[in-house]
């Protein structure tokens, strides 16, 4: 049997045999926008120790939807190209691809064409395969099928013969859905809301004992038990760029503590907590006092705190605590405050914000054992006096707002008879100044903390013409239905509102900066 | 839910050293993958062939061959040769297509083998390859006689 070639011209490029490999691999196609392509190619050439690309689901925290995003990925890969994957839109949460700085929503788009992923292969055709092919001829005219098969073989043999290279290409997967990426602009307020939802609030006994809160003296709770949340949990459950989540945690003064229930043999697992403004103020006072004791002056050296001084202050703070929990708390909350109020000064041209090396202020290094001596000594932290002043003022204002919200039966318009609930502006400013080094306190002004507050704090004049701070009561406007609320519901509502107030106040400094 | 890490592999490991890429250099990728898109379906041998012959699994079935009739080594990275690509299917059919640059490059993803996962047992995906061109056959098949 002879098959003359219909092409009379010599081929300048040898033919490439094409075959199909059954038992397809599970492969997916993901389109790469230019920024992501740059990041991927950089990662390929210079692999980084830190893992940078993440796929996260944006499902709500409801238990029934927790595994949907995971199932989407599972379904996408379990059966290879032959499995049809349900579209991610609709009931299911969106999948997001997150890098350090950017985030995309992942969308599945069906391909109407047949899309094959091919791979180079050694295309060898043994006689057994040929026999199998011949056996299939039973479905039709036997002699004609046989002729076709022989023809194919001859064609392939001819192609192989004329090729100066070995092998060909074979299909490894058929793709029916392509993953497209839609750029999403992260919403910092939404990220902050999620961080505050996920991170438990730390209550310690001292925090709940308060002159204005005597009725709840016996009901303080610790939330660092089985409900602990790890830093990884927070990062995993918020579809946002990694750096932005970390920045929100830093601005909220999120801190870590070792889990107390961990067995001694195991490595300590770190849990993250949100501090109360009262806790922050107490730690800040202790820090300033320890600076005085250690002879450290924050106002000198262009507000730079050097490693040696920092070491002395931290050691002093830890020594004053009697328990392991107290020592861990003192160290970690203080470090969280320093993360919030300072920037790390770069040495030798090293930029702390972009290099991958861990920095002292990285949250993962907040236990004494993990801070190396060289790293601590070489650290330089530069305080921002105006930022520090405003942040401390906000903590103080939030502390008063929290006390007001925890007092039962509070009214929107306190009368002079309730002198303890009225706060004069000059008294507030005086207390605020005492929380700051002298040179930082010169420009204390109510505009900063009040404008940063979104929970109804305003400056007004009382009957004698004295400026006072007026706090809107959480229950104002619903006084008629207040009596109907159950105690637990009322407490839960107040706590939730406070949580939102506290979180919202921390956004403003970033806007100002 | 835990986040799924998207890793980048050392792509050159995927390439089989004994099997050089037979495609034009423009279509070469580190892992030797390519994207072929056909407006239609390739009717091939029945799927169950694989189960009937376990010794030779995965079964490899010939489809045809690719030809680049206008290929010019002088214009390897662009040029007219990209406008005409032939895909011969079987003995009597030919598809005319072209090499097209993808508007957005495509990453080929696969699930990381469980043995390569760390002790944490987390799920992970990896980028096997980045493909920037595709072979697109959108015209009707033509009859050919050899």
**What are the Cα distances from residue A153, in Å, to A1, A159, A401, B95?**
12, 10, 85, 19
Asked if the bond preceding A497 is cis, omega within 30° of 0, the reply is no
Q: Is residue A70 included in any domain, yes or no?
A: no
What pLDDT does A183 receive? 82
Q: What is residue A244's three-state secondary structure? A: helix
Beta bridge partners of A46: none
Contacts of A26 in chain B (CB under 8 A): 110-111
**Nearest CB partner across the interface for A22, out of B50, B69, B108:** B50
**Record: contact A15-B106, CB cut-off 8 A:** no
Please give the residue that has the higher pLDDT: either A72 or A1: A72
What percent of chain A shows pLDDT beyond 70? Answer: 49
pLDDT of B5 strictly over 60: yes
Q: Is a pLDDT exceeding 60 seen at residue A431?
A: yes
- Higher-confidence residue: A257 or A61? A257
User: What are the tens digits of pLDDT across the range A374-410?
Assistant: 666 667 777 888 788 788 887 887 887 766 666 654 4
Give the per-residue pLDDT at A234: 84
Q: A172 pLDDT band (50/70/90 cuts)?
A: confident
Domain count, chain A: 3
CA A479 and chain centroid, separation: 39
- Structure confidence at residue B71 as a pLDDT band (50, 70, 90): confident
Q: Could you tell me if residue A477 is inside a domain?
A: no
Lowest mean pLDDT among A36-45, A169-178, A405-414, B24-33: A405-414
Q: How confident is the model at residue B107 (pLDDT cuts 50, 70, 90)?
A: very high
Query: Which residues contact residue B108 at a Cβ distance below 8 angstroms, ignoring those fewer than 6 apart?
Result: A27, A28, A29, A30, A117, B31, B33, B127, B128, B129, B130, B131
Portion 24-43 of B in contact with A at CB < 8 A? 24, 31-42
Higher pLDDT, B87 or A188: B87
- Per-residue confidence (pLDDT) for residue A133, from 0 to 100: 36
Average pLDDT, chain B: 75
Residue A118's pLDDT is: 87
pLDDT band at A33 (very low <50, low <70, confident <90, very high): very high
Q: Report the b/e string of A431-448 with b at 16+ CB within 10 A.
A: ebbebbbeebbeebebeb
A197 shares its domain with A338: yes
Question: Tokens at residue A55, please?
Answer: 């796929």
A488 reaches B (C-beta below 8 A)? no
Confidence of residue A145 (pLDDT cuts 50, 70, 90): very low
- B3 near A54, Cβ under 8 Å? yes
Same-domain status, A376 and A438: no
Answer whether A169 sits within 8 Å of B66, measured CB to CB: yes
Identify whether A294 is part of a domain: yes
Top-confidence residue, A87 or A35: A35
Instruction: Tell me: do A195 and A330 sit in the same domain.
Output: yes
The better pLDDT of the pair A234, A374 is held by A234
Residue A340 and residue A379 in one domain: yes
* Rounded Cα distance, B137 and B70, in Å: 16
Please check whether residue B110 is in contact with residue A26, taking contact to mean a CB–CB distance below 8 angstroms. yes
Question: Which pLDDT score, from 0 to 100, does residue A199 have?
Answer: 83
CA angle at residue A87 from A23 to A184, to 5 degrees? 115
In a domain, A481, yes or no: no
Better pLDDT: A422 or A104:
A104
Judged by CB atoms closer than 8 Å, whether chains meet at A29 and B35 is answered as: yes
> How many CB atoms lie under 10 A from the CB of residue A341?
21
pLDDT at res. A505? 56
Indicate whether B105 pLDDT > 50.
yes
For the residues A417-436, what does the mean pLDDT come to? 67
**CB-CB under 8 Å, A30 with B44:** no
Nearest CA to A277 out of A459, A152, A399 is that of A399
Give one word for B141, left, alpha or beta, with left for phi > 0 and alpha for psi -120 to 50. Answer: beta
> How close is the nearest chain B Cα to the Cα of A137, in Å?
11
Confidence band (pLDDT; 50, 70, 90) for B97? very high
DSSP code string of B80-115:
GGGG-EEEEETTTEEEEEEEEEEEEEEEEEEEPPGG
Q: Which residue of A has its CA nearest to B11?
A: A44
Contacts 24+ apart (CB under 8 A), B12-20: B14/B128, B14/B129, B15/A120, B16/A120, B16/A122, B18/A122, B18/A166, B19/A120, B19/A121, B19/A122, B19/A166, B19/A167, B20/A120, B20/A165, B20/A166, B20/A167
What the block records as the tokens of A494 is 């107040």
Are residues A433 and A400 located together in one domain of the fold? yes
* Residues A230 and A181 both lie in one domain: no
Both A283 and A342 in a single domain? yes
- Asked if B109's CB is within 8 angstroms of A166's CB, the reply is no
In terms of domains, do A201 and A239 share one? yes
Statement to judge: residues A401 and A323 lie in one domain: no
For helices A277-293 and A385-406, angle between their N-to-C axes, nearest 10 degrees: 140
Average of pLDDT values for B80-92? 83
**Mean per-residue pLDDT for A453-470?**
67
**DSSP H or E segment with residue A387:** helix A385-406
Does residue B20 belong to the interface with chain A, where contact is any CB pair within 8 Å? yes
Look at residue A263 and tell me whether its pLDDT is greater than 70. no
Model pLDDT, residue B66: 85
Q: Specify if A234 maps to a domain.
A: yes
Using the 8-state DSSP alphabet, how is residue A260 labeled? T
Averaged pLDDT for residues A13-37: 82
pLDDT at A335: 82
For residues A26 and A105, state if they share a domain: yes
Six-digit token pair at A35?
């920024």
pLDDT at A499: 56
pLDDT tens digits, one per residue of A471-493:
665 544 333 333 433 444 445 54
What average pLDDT does the segment A67-82 reach? Answer: 41
Residue B1, CB-side half-sphere exposure with 13 Å CA sphere: 28
CATH of the domain at A176: 2.60.40
8 Å CB contact of A27 and B110:
yes
- A192 and A299 part of one domain: yes
Q: Given a cut of 70, is residue A309 above it in pLDDT?
A: yes
B84 versus A466: the higher-pLDDT residue is: B84
Q: Does B3 touch chain A (CB under 8 A)?
A: yes
Q: How far is A172 from chain B (nearest CA, A)?
A: 9
Task: Give the residue from chain B lying closest to A10, CA to CA.
Answer: B69
The reply to whether A73 falls in a domain is no
Band (A84; pLDDT cuts 50, 70, 90)? very low
Is residue A46's pLDDT more than 80? Answer: no
pLDDT single digits (tens) B21-33: 888 888 878 888 8
pLDDT digits (tens, 9 = 90+) for A322-379: 787 787 878 888 888 887 887 766 654 444 444 444 455 555 434 444 555 566 666 7
Q: Is A129 on the interface with B (CB under 8 A)?
A: yes
Residue B70 has pLDDT above 60, yes or no: yes
A42/A99 same-domain check: yes
Question: Strands B85-89, A255-258: parallel, antiparallel or unpaired by DSSP?
Answer: unpaired
Residue A28 has its nearest CB partner, among B21, B31, B109, at: B109
Range of the domain at A447: 396-407+421-471
Task: Name the pLDDT band for A105 (thresholds 50, 70, 90).
Answer: very high
Q: What percent of chain B has pLDDT over 70?
A: 71
Q: Which of residues 77 through 136 in chain B touch A, CB cutoff 8 A?
A: 87-88, 90-91, 102, 104-111, 123, 125, 127-128, 130
Q: Which residues of B touch A23 (CB under 8 A)?
A: 50, 57-59
Q: Is residue A160 part of a domain?
A: no
- Is residue A367, in this structure, part of any structural domain at all? yes
Q: How confident is the model at residue B58 (pLDDT cuts 50, 70, 90)?
A: low
In DSSP terms, A429 is beta-bridged to none
- Using one digit for the tens of pLDDT, what is the confidence trace for B128-140? 888 888 889 989 7
């Amino acid at each position: 049997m002879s098959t003359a070639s219909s092409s009379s011209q010599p081929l300048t490029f040898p033919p490439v045999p094409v075959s199909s490999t059954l038992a397809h691999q599970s492969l997916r196609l993901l389109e790469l926008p230019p920024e992501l392509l740059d990041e991927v190619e950089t990662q390929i050439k210079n692999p980084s120790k830190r893992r940078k690309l993440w796929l996260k689901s944006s499902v709500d925290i409801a238990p029934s939807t927790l595994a949907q995003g995971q199932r989407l990925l599972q379904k996408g890969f379990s059966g290879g190209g032959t499995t049809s994957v349900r579209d991610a839109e609709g009931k299911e949460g969106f999948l997001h691809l997150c890098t350090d700085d950017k985030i995309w929503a992942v969308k599945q788009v069906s391909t109407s064409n047949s899309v094959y992923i091919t791979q180079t292969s050694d295309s060898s055709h043994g006689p057994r395969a040929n026999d199998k092919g011949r056996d299939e001829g039973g479905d039709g005219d036997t002699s004609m099928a046989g002729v076709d098969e022989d023809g194919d073989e001859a064609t392939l043999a001819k192609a192989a013969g004329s090729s100066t290279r070995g092998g060909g290409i074979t299909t490894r997967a058929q793709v029916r859905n392509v993953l497209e990426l839609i750029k999403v602009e992260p919403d910092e307020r939404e990220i902050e809301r999620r961080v505050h939802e996920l991170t438990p609030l730390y209550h310690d006994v001292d925090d709940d004992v308060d002159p204005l809160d005597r009725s709840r003296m016996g009901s303080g709770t610790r939330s660092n038990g089985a409900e602990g949340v790890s830093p990884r949990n927070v990062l995993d459950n918020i579809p946002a760029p990694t750096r932005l989540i970390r920045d929100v945690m830093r601005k909220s003064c999120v801190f870590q503590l070792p889990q107390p229930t961990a067995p001694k043999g195991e490595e300590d697992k770190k849990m993250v907590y949100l501090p109360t403004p009262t806790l922050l103020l107490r730690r800040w006072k202790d820090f300033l006092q320890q600076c005085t004791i250690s002879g450290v002056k924050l106002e000198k050296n262009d507000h730079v705190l050097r490693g040696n001084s920092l070491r002395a202050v931290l050691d002093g703070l830890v020594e004053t605590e009697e328990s392991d929990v107290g020592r861990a708390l003192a160290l970690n909350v203080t470090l969280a405050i320093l993360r919030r109020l300072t920037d790390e000064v770069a040495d030798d041209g090293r930029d702390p914000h972009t290099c991958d090396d861990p920095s002292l202020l990285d949250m993962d290094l907040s236990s004494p054992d993990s801070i190396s001596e060289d790293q601590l000594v070489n650290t330089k932290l530069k305080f921002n006096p105006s930022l520090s002043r405003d942040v401390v003022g906000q903590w103080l204002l939030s502390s008063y707002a929290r006390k007001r919200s925890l007092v039962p039966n509070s009214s929107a318009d306190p009368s002079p008879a309730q002198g303890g609930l009225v706060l004069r502006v000059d008294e507030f400013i005086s207390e605020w100044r005492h929380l700051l080094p002298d040179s930082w306190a010169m420009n204390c002004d109510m505009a900063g903390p009040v404008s940063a507050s979104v929970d109804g704090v305003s400056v007004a004049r009382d009957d004698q013409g004295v400026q006072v701070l007026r706090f809107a009561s959480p229950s104002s406007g619903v006084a008629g239905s207040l009596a109907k609320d159950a105690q637990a519901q009322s407490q839960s509502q107040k706590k939730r509102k406070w949580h939102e107030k506290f979180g919202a106040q921390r956004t403003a400094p970033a806007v100002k900066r | 839910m835990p986040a799924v890490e998207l890793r980048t592999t050392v792509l050159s490991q995927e390439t089989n050293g004994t099997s050089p890429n037979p495609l034009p250099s423009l279509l070469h990728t580190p892992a030797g993958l390519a994207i072929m898109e056909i407006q239609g379906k390739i009717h091939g041998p029945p799927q169950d062939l694989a189960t009937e012959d376990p010794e030779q699994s995965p079964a490899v079935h010939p489809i045809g061959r690719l030809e680049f009739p206008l290929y010019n080594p002088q214009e390897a990275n662009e040029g007219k040769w990209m406008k005409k690509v032939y895909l011969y299917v079987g003995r009597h059919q030919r598809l005319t297509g072209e090499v097209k640059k993808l508007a957005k490059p495509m990453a080929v993803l696969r699930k990381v083998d469980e043995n390569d996962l760390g002790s944490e047992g987390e799920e992970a995906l990896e980028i096997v390859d980045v493909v920037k061109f595709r072979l697109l056959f959108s015209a009707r098949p033509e009859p050919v006689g050899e």
